[in-house]
Structure 1
């Protein structure tokens, strides 16, 4: 089972955030004012809504309260701020972002599921050197006494260092294959929200950049250039591009997970097998040599 980090325990799942955002969008679409909609969710016990209501009662903004919660809520806060500045319809904007959150969450789940098997296999194999020690004792050898000799102590230190290297190397490979927490194509989604408020493309880019701190990516710039040259609606082009990026991220994540099994063979061959020889085979040979009398 994968260990849950403190950050994951403190922050809600992207799917949970998407569900709350979807409920908020339904309330807004029913004609309820934003502050009243947050208040209804707070009365239902939602932590994010409680934080937003507390911040607004203190004179702050919902966007800042959401951004302080980090991860998925920070991205919702960016979209909320953009929609508020340009006067974009909040309900429609939140529905689109909730769908983007679900897509990104599903992509991360797909990758983590694909990573689970090679990760578990690598973890089990990395403990084989220690299992070999117990196996040697079960077969009647005395590997622990052999490890007390100078040669055995050298084998123990070298094998332990190799096992530590295996764990760190494997952890680094798995971490590199893990998907990120950002929503692919978020810049396109945010600019699309700004454009749905009726502002010009330069103004939409300006507002989105001010809210997120990041400018549009090269792909988003290309979509906007296509919209200008073809006279096509930029909002639909941007949202289609964002959806395509999320699909591409899911495919790329699956490919990374598929190649991880092969990459995990590197620490197995370079570190685990030598550690097995040093901690498993070496002590048994030393035990035989130290207990068998020499004959002339």
Structure 2
């Protein structure tokens, strides 16, 4: 039992070291803003952050989110160049729309909207359907961004279809607004990366302390499980750990809400 516990402690320590060097630990890089088509080719999976596991490819969620800015800017450029609003998604689907799950979903969305427009379905109706449909990109924040962008595009196209208003300048404003939102989100994530790592480290300290006690020759596990005061200390420690974890999460959530407002 002691050997199994030691293996568990060593595994937990390795995971702790790995998670401390991960994307939330300050290695989330905001991609450089480029007005051209180079944004779409920014790899969605690359090695980020220092550490032993830096050679492992990790998902660059910031780059994936910025692919939406590139797509909206391309749509605006095509419309300003005189393309028909019902055909721009077809031209966009013929070129690379990015990489990773988000890029593949964007390509699927463009192809489906174009195919629907070919049979007479309004672009706004197709975009509205995508805005309310599940987004299988493997990340909740990226899925929310995808639905939000599709909803904004649907509103723009609906207004244009009803009033005949030009879309190019409107979509340029949507792209700038989306870029500002993503920049603000990246700044919040960078500011909260340190507290997140601190909370994760403090959460593992009791387990690591037990492992240290075993390595020193004592038997803290037996004491905690077989004596009444040990059980009391174990219950109190677990309750305080859970309460501390909940409290720190509430503080970070409050900080995120206040910084977003």
Regarding TM over 0.5, the answer is yes
Q: How does 1:163-182 map to 2 (within 5 A)?
A: 163-178=241-256
How many residues align? The count is: 178
- 1:268-288: CA deviations, max 9, x gaps? xxxxxxxxxxxxxxxxxxxxx
User: Could you give the per-residue CA deviations for residues 187-229 of structure 1, whole angstroms, max 9, x where no partner exists?
Assistant: xxxxxxxxxxxxxxxxxxxxxxxxxxxxxxxxxxxxxxxxxxx
Q: What is the correspondence of 1:61-80 to structure 2 with a 5 Å cutoff?
A: 61-67=122-128, 68-69=130-131, 70-80=147-157
User: How large is the RMSD of aligned CA atoms in angstroms?
Assistant: 2.8
Are the counterparts in 2 of residues 14 and 101 from structure 1 also a CA contact under 8 Å? no
In the alignment, what sits opposite 1:33? 84
Distance 1:54 1:99, change over 3 A: same
Q: Could you tell me which residue of structure 1 aligns to residue 259 of structure 2?
A: 253
With over 3 angstroms needed to count, the CA separation of the structure-2 counterparts of 1:76 and 1:121, relative to structure 1, is same
For structure 2, list consecutive stretches of 5 or more residues without a partner in the other structure: 1-21, 25-58, 97-106, 132-146
Secondary structure of the residue aligned to 1:253 is helix
TM-score scaled by length of structure 1: 0.53
Structure 1 segment 269-288 matched on structure 2, within 5 A = none
The C-alpha deviation readout for 1:228-270, integer Å capped at 9, x for no partner, is: xxxxxxxxxxxxxxxxxxxxxxxx628x9xxxxxxxxxxxxxx
CA contact (8 A) 2:87 2:114 kept: no
Which residue number in structure 1 is paired with residue 68 of structure 2? 17
Rounded to whole Å, the distance in 2 between the matches of 1:177 and 1:81 is 36
Q: Please state how far the C-alpha of 1:120 moved relative to its aligned partner.
A: 0.9
C-alpha distance after superposition, 1:21-57 (max 9, x if no partner): 1011111111111122111112225232123123324
The match for 1:84 among 138, 161, 167 is 161
- The separation in 1 between residues aligned to 2:113 and 2:189, in whole angstroms, is 32
> Relative contact order (C-alpha < 8 Å, sep 6+): which is higher?
1
Please tell me whether residue 153 in structure 1 is matched to residue 204 in structure 2.
no
Would you say the 8 A contact 2:90–2:110 is kept in 1?
A: yes
Q: Measure the CA separation in 1 of the matches of 2:255 and 2:121.
A: 39
Unmatched tracts of structure 1, length 5 or more: 180-251, 257-296
Decide whether aligned partners of structure 1 residues 177 and 48 sit closer, same or farther in structure 2, where only a CA change above 3 A counts. farther
Contact 1:14-1:72 within 8 A present in 2 as well: no
CA distance in 1, matches of 2:247, 2:23: 17
2:204 alignment counterpart:
127
CA contact (8 A) 2:156 2:167 kept: no
Higher helix share: 1
C-alpha spacing 1:126/1:17, structure 2 compared with 1 (3 Å): same
CA contact (8 A) 1:17 1:73 kept: no
Instruction: State the partner residue of 1:118.
Output: 195
Cα offset, 1:156, TM superposition: 1.6
